[in-house]
Amino acid sequence: MRAWRDALLFHLLIAAAAAGVFFALRPPELGWGILGLVAVYNLLLPLIASRSGHRDWLELWIFLLPLSVLQVLPDWVLTQQLGILDFPDLGGPHIGAVPAYMAGMWVIPLFWILWLAGRSTVTATVLALLVFAGAEWAARPLQLWHAQHVDQFMGVAHYVLLPEALLGWAAAYAFRQSSDGNPFMRLGAAAGVTTFYTGALVLSYFLSEHVGFRLPSFTH
């Protein structure tokens, strides 16, 4: 129960800070504010984990931070190569076509997905589908990112749902297999997850938009 209390309190404080950033700032200051918020999150999470004795949090963060940084690559592919994802310019630095704050933002949803799933890849898959579908829906009104030139339902692109569910599965599996390994093994596992996810995105986009494969519940 203490771990739940600490996790909820920490993330509620981050959510309150995020609300303040989005309410008080406008581009180009908003992009810098989001970058600062993401940096603070990734500094405080391991600090709180160490001081509170939540060793599992620290292990997750060590795996998820490099994975989050690598996740810039599939976003870059979708944005610059395929042209089906757009990041409004909110200000702040970019890594290629992707805002720099995205390099640390993936830690937040993936932390909850993997922490709640424990060692279950099936649970991680289901949680990832729910969490990322919600994130895709919320991203458009917050002007963080949005899909374009693809079929969508309530702002959520059809093609992205299955790959994001598989991302939860792959991240949970890779973390479980590499948790006892050295830093190079963990980095390799994170790179493998990103490579798998990038391929899943491109294949799903091809099947959805060019072959005509559709999930039955997402028809117009």
Q: Could you read off the pLDDT of 89-127 as tens digits, one per residue? A: 999 999 999 999 999 999 999 999 999 999 899 999 999
Taking only the tens place, the pLDDT of each residue in 153-206 is: 988 999 999 999 999 999 999 999 998 888 899 999 999 999 999 999 999 999
Sequence letter at residue 57: W
Asked whether the beta carbons of 178 and 136 are under 8 A apart, the reply is: no
pTM: 0.94
Q: How wide is the angle at C-alpha 81 spanned by C-alphas 162 and 188, nearest 5°?
A: 60
Task: Spell out the residues 6+ positions from residue 82 whose beta carbon is closer than 8 angstroms to its own.
Answer: 202, 205
Q: Which two tokens stand for residue 132?
A: 């990322």
Per the document, the length of the chain is 220
What is the chain's alpha carbon radius of gyration, rounded to the nearest angstrom? 17
Listed in order, strand segments (DSSP E) in 49-128 are 85-86, 94-95, 98-99
In this prediction, residue 206 carries a pLDDT of 95
- Residue 143's nearest CA partner among 22, 19, 15 is 22
Instruction: Give the separation between CA 76 and CA 62, rounded to whole angstroms.
Output: 23
Pairing of strands 152-153, 156-157: antiparallel
DSSP code per residue over 56-75: HHHHHHHHHHHHHHHTHHHH
- Residue 97's nearest CA partner among 148, 46, 145 is 145
In this prediction, residue 198 carries a pLDDT of 98
